[in-house]
Amino acid sequence: MAVLPFQPTPFFANKNRAFWRLQVLGWAGALMLRAMSLLATGQSWSSLALVVVAVINGFSISLILAVIYRQLMGRRALLTWGVTAVVLPLAVSLYAFMDAWMVDLSRPDSTVGFPQLFVGVFFFDAALLGAWSALYYAINFFLRVEEQNDALLRLEVQATNAQLAMLRYQLNPHFLFNTLNSISTLVLLGQTEPANAMLTRLSSFLRYTLINEPEGRVTVAKEVETLKLYLDIERMRFEDRLRTTFRIDEPTEGGLLPSLLLQPLVENAIKYAVSTQESGAEITIAAQLVGQNLRITVSDTGPGLQNQEGDHRLHAVSFDGGQTVSTGVGLANIRDRLAQAYGPAHRFETYEPSEGGFAVTIEIPFERRDADFPASATAT
């Protein structure tokens, strides 16, 4: 796609400059029309001087109207239109008086009196200034509506960012409680070296959460790197019971997703699969391209959804706008973050694979910071 060698500027980006451009072009057009009308009716070239003076008068009167109308903008409708209904006829009368007076002076031998000349030009000048006034109000009301829409959009973006930040910050206390509790247990047992190692990994993980903006997006590669930091911390607690496998297709590594999106999924798997089984469980994190979407799956070899009455693992599932049931804090948090970030352009599904266990699949539009990346990348 060709790129323009310059950045186009909106016509009304500078409203004062746009006003003077329209003012000059509009009255220049009126001058041309009146001049062509005179020449078409066989008038002499000397009559053009009257037309030029008349257009200058109209230009000056419209500037006075602009000052008055600008003061009326934003006032109550009754005041705005009431004052306009009084000011506009007065301006037209002044314009017609000046036009008739100039014509009367230039034709001393004419049999047409001043009152007749005044009535003759009044309706033409009324149409001219009336059209100018309507255009002035229409443009300014349109610009005001655009400004209000822009302000509303900015507020919506700010509200969305604030909600995303709130959802992201919900993760830290939830995760910190479990980790600090484990560190406290290690200290009480006199295992200072494991406690110190866990504190070091926790420091690295929290440093990442502070560096990245809560509403920002990171690459899949960066998210996986951070996830491994989190798993190193949890592996200090569960040792060989926690087994992990990463299947990240290379084309997906540059794809963008909300930061710390996968951590609650893995935490959910650890809570309901690893910690509930003496042999532990294996957690698999996979990422692949499916058409123009990024598909991420987090699965485990745990007990799945058995004993649902006593298991709060699956309180609710949201799948492509279907029936909605709530998941625990972590999964509900992810569902809300995806809804805020992608709207209906995402898919969130929880299910039990045929081989057993539990899995969560997320599909979001594939995006990356490199604009030259082909959007038509397919799954490998």
Could you report the per-residue pLDDT of 91-110, keeping only the tens digit for each?
Answer: 999 988 888 888 777 776 66
- Does 7 have pLDDT greater than 60? no
**Mind listing the pLDDT tens digit for each residue in 350-366?**
999 888 899 999 999 99
DSSP H or E segment with residue 230:
helix 220-238
**Mind listing the pLDDT tens digit for each residue in 301-351?**
988 876 444 344 544 333 333 333 333 456 777 887 788 788 889 999 999
Q: How confident is the model at residue 174 (pLDDT cuts 50, 70, 90)?
A: low
Q: Which of 83-87, 139-143, 208-212, 262-266 has the highest mean pLDDT?
A: 83-87
Q: Which CATH number fits domain 216-365: 3.30.465.10, 3.40.50.880, 3.90.660.10, 3.30.565.10?
A: 3.30.565.10
Percent of the chain at pLDDT > 90 equals 21
Whether residue 205 contacts residue 172, with contact meaning beta carbons closer than 8 Å, is answered with no
pTM of the model: 0.51
**Could you tell me the two tokens for 311?**
């298991």
Domain ranges of the chain: 15-153, 216-365
- C-alpha–C-alpha distance, residues 374 and 318, integer Å: 31
| Phi, then psi, of 142 in degrees rounded to 5 | -60, -45
